[in-house]
Amino acid sequence: MLVAFVFVGVVGTLGLLNTADVAWEQSSTFAALGALAALVTMVAAVVAIAVADRSNVAELGFVGNGLLSMSVLSAAHAAVTPEALYADNPAFAVAALLVLPAFVLSSLPMLLASTAFGRWGARRWRDWSIMSTFVAFVVAFALAGLPDAWPSLRPGGPVSIAVCAASCVAVLLFAWRFHRRSALSRSALSRPSLPGSLILVVGFVGLGVSALAPITNVFGAGFWGLRAVGFAAALTLAGCTVAIARRVAPTQAAFAPVLEVDPFLALDLAASPLVRRYLATETDGLASVGTADLALKVADRMKLSVDQRRRLGLAAVMHDVGKTLVPEEILTKPSSLSVEEFQLVQRHASDGAAMLAADVLLAPCAHIVRSHHERVDGAGYPDRLTGSSIPIEARIIAACDAFDAITHDREYRRGLPVGLSLAILNSNAGQQWDAEVVRHLMMVVADSNRAPSATEVELVVPDDLAELLVQIDCEI
């Protein structure tokens, strides 16, 4: 990243120090090349948006959307080139000044990802894209249709310098965001999980450099050079967006319920070495996705905060990561486990917590994973916690994971009907599972029409319930 900032300084300084003595005043050539570059960028941006839409990665959608809005303003800038289609006009300077702000404003939710506005925009990124593109076209048509109706701006004036500086800083913040993710993906592996993120950093830095173009001498060497850098950076961003969107697909599928809460987690999760290793070793199609989906619906009913739901969703998907250290023959053993084998299985809660604690992104979920086998009556493990001393997220995962396990088939047993499964949970509410959580879980299941009627929950639980619960405890 330091090299990138040095690059910004060198290229930007050369552009700003250029004098009018070195200039190539070819208005018609610039108009033609500018229009061609804008068209190419527009096509690349549309492809990037389409790929992001198919993979449903909001962050990449914002990058494509920013490039599209930027290319629309670039086309307007080329159209109003003095002595090409129009005489000398103030719209030329205004259009140049609006190119990078168009990118920043169209991608603004990504810049404010940690805020309520950012999360709102991420969940509705397609609507945001349509709206911002429409605004960009309106401004572009206004510039081209009324080229003399705009205030005159000097390249070195305070307005130009302020807008250019703000745009440059904003784009470099995008670069920092992807740099941080690339550093995360390399922290435990020699080969980064998302090498395209590094190239994205270079693309954003190049775009930041091009933000200085409006304050250079018109048609000087800096003017031409910075626009060339901007065009190359835009194509780089579009290409990387397409490449990364395809590689994020497995993570997107595994964490789909969590990404409904915070769509900006997709690339962070894809960059996590622990997540990648877990997805590579998981062989059951990530059954925990169903647990996560159910747990988040229960959390919605219980009015948990956004931060709590984010931690809950991540922990629900990753709660069995510690089982990757348990021999497969023990996990799939159809008969009862020996005392030593069961103790080995029980270690997965603490082992999983230790694994998550070593991951920057997942560390806040470590205590939840450690406690997801605790019981409200204190008979759980590994810490024998009771009642409200167990994190609420862990209590929700425990009940939802048990329900998911009871209702699904295994190689050595058939899944039980939904109503009977709820009856089993209800009969142990206040002992093994939190009574309030079970109550909300039953409501969620009823709302989803998985339980035909309330009377179904009143079914008599099986006589071998204790043995079944021990078996379930080994599975979840």
Among 264, 285, 360, 278, residue whose Cα is nearest residue 319 = 278
**Cα 388 from Cα 401, distance rounded (Å):** 19
Task: Give me the pLDDT at residue 266, please.
Answer: 85
| C-beta separation of 168 from 211 below 8 A | yes
Task: Give me the pLDDT at residue 1, please.
Answer: 45
Half-sphere exposure of 87 (CA within 13 A, CB side): 1
Q: How far apart are the first and last CA of the chain?
A: 43
**Cα 36 from Cα 108, distance rounded (Å):** 27
The three-state (H, E, C) secondary structure of the chain, written as one string: CHHHHHHHHHHHHHHHHCCCCCECCCHHHHHHHHHHHHHHHHHHHHHHHHHHHHHCCHHHHHHHHHHHHHHHHHHHHHHCCECCCECCCCHHHHHHHHHHHHHHHHCHHHHCCCCHHHHHHHHCHHHHHHHHHHHHHHHHHHHHHCCCCCCCCCCCCHHHHHHHHHHHHHHHHHHHHHHHHHHHHHCCCCCCCCHHHHHHHHHHHHHHHHCCHHHCCCCEHHHHHHHHHHHHHHHHHHHHHHHHHHHCHHHHHHCHHHHHHCCCHHHHHHHCHHHHHHHHHCCCCCCHHHHHHHHHHHHHHCCCCHHHHHHHHHHHHHCCHHHHHCCHHHHCCCCCCCHHHHHHHHHHHHHHHHHHHCCCCCHHHHHHHHCCCCCCCCCCCCCCCCHHHCCHHHHHHHHHHHHHHHHCCECCECCCCHHHHHHHHHHCECCCECHHHHHHHHHHHHHCCCCCCHHHHHCCCCCCHHHHHHHHHHHC
**Cα 83 from Cα 218, distance rounded (Å):** 13
Over the chain (476 residues), what is each successive 10-residue block's mean pLDDT?
49 50 70 91 92 86 94 94 86 92 93 87 91 95 92 85 90 82 49 57 85 82 84 88 79 86 85 84 66 93 93 93 85 75 88 92 94 93 93 95 81 72 87 93 81 47 59 61
Task: Give me the pLDDT at residue 364, please.
Answer: 94
Amino acid at 163: V
Task: Give me the pLDDT at residue 193, please.
Answer: 45
Task: Give me the pLDDT at residue 190, please.
Answer: 36
- The residue count for the chain: 476
Q: What pLDDT, in 10s, does the model give residues 178-196?
A: 777 665 555 433 344 444 5
Q: What pLDDT, in 10s, does the model give residues 341-392?
A: 888 888 999 999 999 999 888 999 999 999 999 999 999 999 999 999 999 9
Task: Give me the pLDDT at residue 189, please.
Answer: 37
CA 352 vs. chain centroid, Å, equals 23
Task: Give me the pLDDT at residue 454, please.
Answer: 42
Task: Give me the pLDDT at residue 123, please.
Answer: 87
Task: Give me the pLDDT at residue 471, please.
Answer: 61
Task: Give me the pLDDT at residue 73, please.
Answer: 95
**Cα 114 from Cα 299, distance rounded (Å):** 20
User: What percent of the chain has pLDDT above 90?
Assistant: 37
Q: Which two tokens stand for residue 251?
A: 């993570």
| C-beta separation of 122 from 58 below 8 A | yes
CA 67 vs. chain centroid, Å, equals 19
Torsion of CA 92, 93, 95, 100, to 10 degrees: 150
Task: Give me the pLDDT at residue 21, please.
Answer: 47
pTM of the model: 0.79
**Cα 288 from Cα 35, distance rounded (Å):** 50
